Amino acid sequence: MLWPDWGVRVPGLPPAGWIPAGRVAPTQLLVLTLALRQSHTARLAQLADGVSDPGSLLYGKFLSLEQLRELVRPSPVTLAAVHEWLQGAGVTDCRSVATLDFLECVITAERLLPGARFHRYVSGPSSVVRSPTPYAVPAKLAEHLDFVGGLHRFPSAPGAQSQQGGFHLGVTPSVLRKRYNLTKEDIGALSNNSQACAQFLEQYFHQADLAEFMQLFGRSFGHRSCVDRVVGQQGQGRAGLEASLDVEYIMSAGANISTWVFSNPGRHETQEPFLAWLLLLSNMSALPWVHSVSYGDDEDSLSGAYLQRVNAEFQKAAVRGLTVLFASGDEGAGCRKSPGGAHAFRPSFPASSPYVTTVGGTAFKNPFLVSLEVTDYISGGGFSNVFPRPDYQAAAVKKFLQSAPKLPPSSYYNSSGRAYPDLAALSDNYWVVSNRIPLPWVSGTSASTPVVAGIVALINDRRLQRGLPALGFLNPVLYKLQEKGPTAALFDVTQGCHLSCLDAVVEGQGFCAGPSWDPVTGWGTPNYPQLLQALLAA
């Protein structure tokens, strides 16, 4: 039975930048990830909603990893069927995760998965092995597997960019702390609170860069100059701009809070770094409460099975009380062209998942003053074509669609889909230290996301001091807070539009910011002391 939709990425031509470099031997050993069908997925979704909703009796009553395993572990029938299949193909080198719903196996893929034909692709110094063709599995396994990872999906390029733009004094920790009203006393105090960011595809941070960054830019507030824990392989090569940015700014906003880095370099040519990170979350009983991830892919380039299963992984994070924040992307509304030639906007995933908090980007209206913010034109945002609009944002999105003075043609977006981003922060013209060199003009929502993550981690610190649970999945409380009426907890961003398709209809313009929520900057940017008070009362 052929399953052309089971590959993580829809089979076909590789994305731009990846060049074919020849067929690999059919007997070559590959590392692939098997996503086993989970149990009680409806109950998982109910619990994710309940523990995250301040109006629910379940609010804040998070599950342990052991309790989560008992909920989602595959049925004995599924475990036996997959084991029998692998054993029959001579596959013995497999590792499971604590929740038993993933297997990572070293296999001869073309023997196990007829139809797959593996080729090597290169992009600069990186190389991957992927199959441009769909694969087959026995029909009796259809009800036991969600997808096989490591066959079709190509890694995404890092999002942060260093740009030689117009003169700008630049965003530093002191600028952010002034804009978002963080004082020198607003730093972490607890040893049992932590935050994390993830780095992918040979992106590494250097401890020496972090120490130099804090020496240059962190003198006005208490801070840590060292990452406390690296989970995974931390390479010794040159530091990556993306990784440096993430670490330096989550540790500036979430100052003096213990910080972890999940390092997923994807060194094996069939390894998918993002999936490797998800497996780590399913395998560790103790995790930081807040996770910042600057990663994304075009929603339409991924299979439906993969999208739904990864969404379930975010539900698993929610029931454990984790706050997972994703960058909204740097392509505005995006753009794709249908086979018939019509243009439409192109949403990004995981930004479009209803179980993550998605962070857009802003810029100062006057680059020389710490003052009013406007839309950063690159800020990713829009509406999912896969996930329906969740209940927590129904009223906010309906209000935007009814009150926006000008909307793109309805054929360009799915107005009933999950809308994003949820909130935003400055994303333009940051200073970063990478490879011991201070670099200006670094921009992207991969800058705004760790800033918001650090602020959420600070609020967790205060909640934990009061004996309250961590915030967990943030969106239900965030939308409920804002929908009660005007609040000073977030600075509303009401000016500017983001980019989209360069055609005669929309002429490069996507959505525009407006009062309250909008699909460019969400609810706006954080006003820390007011947001803290509001979320302490949640």
Q: Which pLDDT value is given to residue 158?
A: 44
Residue 513 lies in a domain: yes
Return the amino acid letter for 336: R
Q: What is residue 411's DSSP assignment?
A: G
Closest alpha carbon to 48 in 504, 475, 534: 475
The percentage of residues in the chain with a pLDDT greater than 70, rounded to a whole number, is 90
- pLDDT category at 75 given cuts 50, 70, 90 is very high
Q: State residue 154 phi and psi, 5-degree precision.
A: -95, 140
Tell me if residue 95 falls in helix, strand or coil.
Answer: strand
Clarify whether residues 95 and 233 are in a common domain: no
What percent of the chain shows pLDDT beyond 90?
A: 72
Q: Are the beta carbons of 281 and 485 closer than 8 angstroms?
A: no
List CB contacts of 139: < 8 A, sequence separation 6 or more: 1
**b/e per residue, 519-536, with b = 16+ CB within 10 A?**
bbbbbbbbbbeebbebbe
Q: What Å distances lie between residue 275 and 100, 227, 411, CA to CA?
A: 15, 23, 33
Cite the beta strand spans of 265-329 per DSSP E.
Answer: 290-293, 297-298, 323-327
In angstroms, rounded to a whole number, what is the distance separating the alpha carbons of residues 434 and 241?
6
Per DSSP, the three-state class of 531 is helix
Q: Does the annotation mark 427 as catalytic?
A: no
Q: Are residues 89 and 177 in the same domain?
A: no
Give the per-residue pLDDT at 148: 86
Higher pLDDT, 368 or 1: 368
Same domain, 177 and 139: no
452 and 517 housed in the same domain? yes
Higher pLDDT pick, 30 / 193: 193
Q: Measure the CA–CA gap between 161 and 400, rounded to whole angstroms.
A: 31
Q: Give me the pLDDT at residue 26, please.
A: 74
129 shares a domain with 189: no
Cβ contact 319:282 at 8 Å: no
Active-site hit among 49, 209, 242, 299:
242
**Residue 156 falls inside a structural domain:** no
Which of 100, 116, 149 is at the close of a domain? Answer: 149
* Residue 3 reports pLDDT greater than 50: no
Q: Are 6 and 113 in contact (CB under 8 A)?
A: no
Mean per-residue pLDDT, 114-140: 77
Is residue 63 included in any domain, yes or no?
Answer: no
* Mean pLDDT confidence for 246-268: 88
Q: Return the pLDDT at 31.
A: 84
The CATH number given to whatever domain includes residue 311 is 3.40.50.200
Q: In the structure encoding, which two tokens stand for residue 392, read together?
A: 């927590």
- Same domain as 301, residue 341: yes
Counting DSSP H helices and E strands in the chain, the numbers are: 13, 28
The residue range of the domain holding 24 is 19-38+73-149
What is the model's pTM?
0.92
Mean pLDDT to the nearest integer, 219-243: 88
Task: Tell me the C-alpha distance between 9 and 133, whole Å.
Answer: 11
pLDDT at residue 45, as a whole number: 98
What is the average pLDDT across 106-135? 75
Catalytic residue among 294, 348, 427, 446: 446
**Are 258 and 110 members of one domain?**
no
Residues forming beta bridges with residue 35, ordered by sequence position: 102, 147
Tokens of 65: 């990893």
Q: Amino acid letter at 11?
A: P
Query: Does a structural domain hold residue 401?
Result: yes
pLDDT at position 225: 96
Highest mean pLDDT among 229-243, 403-417, 484-498: 403-417
**In this model, does residue 13 exceed pLDDT 60?**
no
Which tokens hold the place of 327? 């960058």
State how far Cα 109 lies from the chain centre. 29
Query: How many independent structural domains does the chain possess?
Result: 2
> What is the pLDDT at residue 202?
64
Q: Please check whether residue 381 lies inside any domain of the structure.
A: yes
Clarify whether 373 is annotated catalytic: no
How do 373-375 and 102-108 pair as beta strands? unpaired
Residue 245 φ/ψ, nearest 5 degrees: -60, -50
Residues 128 and 185 in one domain: no
Alpha carbon distances (Å) from 349 to 42, 78, 327: 22, 28, 10
Q: Who contacts 474 (Cβ-Cβ below 8 Å, separation ≥6)? A: 52, 323, 325, 357, 422, 456
**pLDDT bucket at 373, cuts 50 / 70 / 90:** very high
Out of 64-78, 193-207, 388-402, 505-519, which region has the weakest mean confidence (pLDDT)?
193-207
Q: Is the peptide bond before 114 cis (omega within 30 degrees of 0)?
A: no
Examine residue 238 and state whether it is found in any structural domain, yes or no: yes
Query: Looking at the structure, do residues 313 and 241 belong to the same domain, yes or no?
Result: yes
126, 189: one domain = no
Evaluate if residue 352 carries a pLDDT over 70.
yes
Asked, for residue 195, whether it belongs to a domain, the answer is yes
Q: How confident is the model at residue 424 (pLDDT cuts 50, 70, 90)?
A: very high
User: Which one of the listed residues 209, 246, 248, 428 is annotated catalytic?
Assistant: 246
- Does 282 have pLDDT greater than 90? yes
User: Is 446 in the active site?
Assistant: yes
Same domain, 527 and 479: yes
The DSSP symbol for 194 reads E
| DSSP H or E run through 424 | strand 423-426
- 314 and 353 within one domain: yes
What are the CB-based long-range contacts (under 8 Å, 24+) for 80-87? Answer: 81/140, 81/141, 81/144, 82/34, 82/36, 82/141, 82/144, 82/145, 85/137, 85/138, 85/141, 86/112
Reply yes or no: is the peptide bond before residue 74 cis, omega within 30 of 0.
no
- Ramachandran bin of 508, using left for φ above 0, alpha for ψ from -120 to 50, beta for the remaining angles: left
**Cβ atoms 345, 496 nearer than 8 A:** no
Helices 475-483 & 528-536, crossing angle to 10 degrees?
100
Q: Is 201 part of a structural domain of the chain?
A: yes
